[in-house]
Structure 1
Amino acid sequence: MARLRPQDAERRQAAGPDFLEALARGLAVLQAFDAERRQMTLAEVARAVDLPRATVRRALLTLAELGHLETDGRLFRLTPRVLRLAAGYLGSNGVSTILQPRCERLSLAIGEPCSAAVLDGGEIVFIAYGQPTRMLSVTTMVGWRLPAFCTALGRVLLAGLPDAALETFFAALRPVAATPQTTLDPVAIRAQVIETRREGFALVDQEAEIGFRSIAVPLRRYDGRVVAALNVGMQVERGTVAMLREQVLPLLRAEAAEISALLV
């Protein structure tokens, strides 16, 4: 059996005797593949997950046998079967079912992309997405991840966290610039999150993507807990910051109020 790394030993100790290290390592191997690492050798995966080659080899071959990976004997890549994991979440999570048609409707009404996301650690994950018919792309943002600290959706979701959870987030935050306009000072980021909590919305201007502005509001369930965030984004040439505040924000808030009445 491979020796546990110090961080793995700490995690096992914190999680208790029922924690399955082999399962955790297998999931880490799956998550190592992304848009920049679409196919990898055994050695590349081992470096990506910082695990011994023998451990990674067993995980890769097991995942290939289960149909989640395919290999030509040297390179490994994901198969469509991994989508069953995402489909299970989207199908069992009532929030996604409610939000998808709402995002599509709002996008058509405003003429700009509309999305919804949830918080996963330090990232946001898109769980619903609608785009206007004028946009010919057939790609979807569902499943896409972005840093929470520099996105409107992320700041809304962070603002909805209890104080203790927010402190945990900032303790682990290591901000990396997405654009030259990305705020990197943790003090300034914290101030933006607190302002978002006070104002009830977040507006981000080209911090996550050059040439793109977005505005987001929280989606609360019956007990007031923020369970997701709703967002409209647009290219800078299609709308000013003032337009987002004065025209888009009231529509977002009205839609959020209707959605929140459906969340349980």
Structure 2
Amino acid sequence: MEEQAAYFVKSVEKAFDVLLAFTPEHQRLTVSQVATLTDMTRASARRFLMTLADLGYLRADGPAFELTARSLDIGRSFLAGLTLPGVAEPHLKDLAARLNETTALCVLDGADVVYVVCVPSPRLLSVSITVGTRFPAWATSMGRVLLGGLPEPELQQYLETVQLHRYTQRSVSSIEQLRAEVDAARDRGWSMVSEELEEGLRGVAVPVRRGNDIVAAANVSLQTHRASAEDVERAVVPQLQEAARRIALDYSGPVTGHRPTHRSA
């Protein structure tokens, strides 16, 4: 195990472990459940839960605890200072309205993609994703676009440490296959992932650039019965690339060098 620095405060790490135990799948947790998820004793978990409740980040409801709105304060300053979501949202709203599909903007955070903007489809039945949602980068079109923008040493380190999981029968099953998908996304300027993370769901993503750097990925998510992969490539990718170009232009001014291109099948 890597030795921790002398300044490292273990109790801070444990407090965040407790907060991060609460997920969309685990919105209400008991002391015993938190203890199991965080590898703490029940007594320790109870002390952290009670302290966080006293500070207003958690609320006790009978034997269970749940996050409060104050927990949003932790990330609010980051999102407020990150101007890209504010710049991107109008363009993604326009794209969602034109395509009648869900659009989003994601950034890379460690091994995950994190949604910083999400515009639901105008249709009643749409992909249910919110700001702050995380997915493994390797399993998503956004992640493969963002991984393709990493310097080679960082990408290689990622590939050496990532753990693949078969979410569906179509999920990539080897590092070699993943590397090929990332390389393809980099070469053609977009990525499509069909039913690798969830059955019936197809996602397509393109990079959003600042200068020559990829700073985010713009995405359209849709149900597979809505359009074939060929139709998405022909009709959705060019519009998504144009939206990404407009986002980049508003975010950082005219971009020299790389321009999005689309190659027909």
User: Relative to 1, partners in 2 of residues 1:122 and 1:55: Cα closer, same or farther, differing over 3 Å?
Assistant: same
- Pick the aligned partner of 1:232 from 213, 216, 220: 220
User: Relative to 1, partners in 2 of residues 1:234 and 1:161: Cα closer, same or farther, differing over 3 Å?
Assistant: same
Tell me the matched-pair count.
Answer: 252
Residues 1:213 and 2:202 are matched in the alignment: yes
- Pick the aligned partner of 2:171 from 179, 182, 193: 182
Q: Deviations over 1:193-230 (max 9, x none)?
A: 111111111011111221121211011113x2111100
What stretches of structure 1 of length at least 5 have no aligned partner?
1-6
- Contact 2:141–2:191 (8 Å) recurs in 1: yes
- Pick the aligned partner of 1:29 from 8, 18, 33: 18
Task: Determine the structure 1 residue equivalent to 2:241.
Answer: 253
- Contact 2:111–2:162 (8 Å) recurs in 1: yes
| Higher mean C-alpha deviation, range 177-186 or range 33-42 | 33-42
Q: How far apart, in 2, do the equivalents of 1:89 and 1:135 lie?
A: 31
Deviation of the 1:11 alpha carbon: 5.4
- Contact 1:116–1:128 (8 Å) recurs in 2: yes
Deviation of the 1:94 alpha carbon: 0.7
Task: Determine the structure 2 residue equivalent to 1:132.
Answer: 121
User: Relative to 1, partners in 2 of residues 1:258 and 1:244: Cα closer, same or farther, differing over 3 Å?
Assistant: same
- Contact 1:108–1:131 (8 Å) recurs in 2: no
Which residue identity does 2:220 align to in structure 1? Answer: V
| Higher mean C-alpha deviation, range 254-263 or range 22-31 | 254-263
Task: Determine the structure 1 residue equivalent to 2:250.
Answer: 262
TM-score by length of 1: 0.88
Secondary structure of residue in 2 paired with 1:167: helix
Within-5 A mapping of 1:1-264: 7=1, 10=2, 12=4, 16-72=5-61, 74-135=63-124, 140-222=129-211, 224-264=212-252
- Contact 2:101–2:123 (8 Å) recurs in 1: no
Q: How far apart, in 2, do the equivalents of 1:167 and 1:125 lie?
A: 21
Aligned CA-pair RMSD? 2.0
Q: How far apart, in 1, do the equivalents of 2:134 and 2:105 lie?
A: 12
| Higher mean C-alpha deviation, range 148-157 or range 82-91 | 82-91
Deviation of the 1:69 alpha carbon: 0.8
User: Relative to 1, partners in 2 of residues 1:47 and 1:127: Cα closer, same or farther, differing over 3 Å?
Assistant: same
Which residue identity does 1:71 align to in structure 2? Answer: A
Deviation of the 1:136 alpha carbon: 6.0
Which residue identity does 1:261 align to in structure 2? Answer: L
Deviation of the 1:18 alpha carbon: 2.8
What percentage of residue pairs aligned between the two structures are identical?
A: 34
Deviation of the 1:100 alpha carbon: 1.7
TM-score by length of 2: 0.88
- Contact 2:105–2:216 (8 Å) recurs in 1: yes
Deviation of the 1:57 alpha carbon: 2.9
Task: Determine the structure 2 residue equivalent to 1:4.
Answer: none
User: Relative to 1, partners in 2 of residues 1:83 and 1:191: Cα closer, same or farther, differing over 3 Å?
Assistant: same
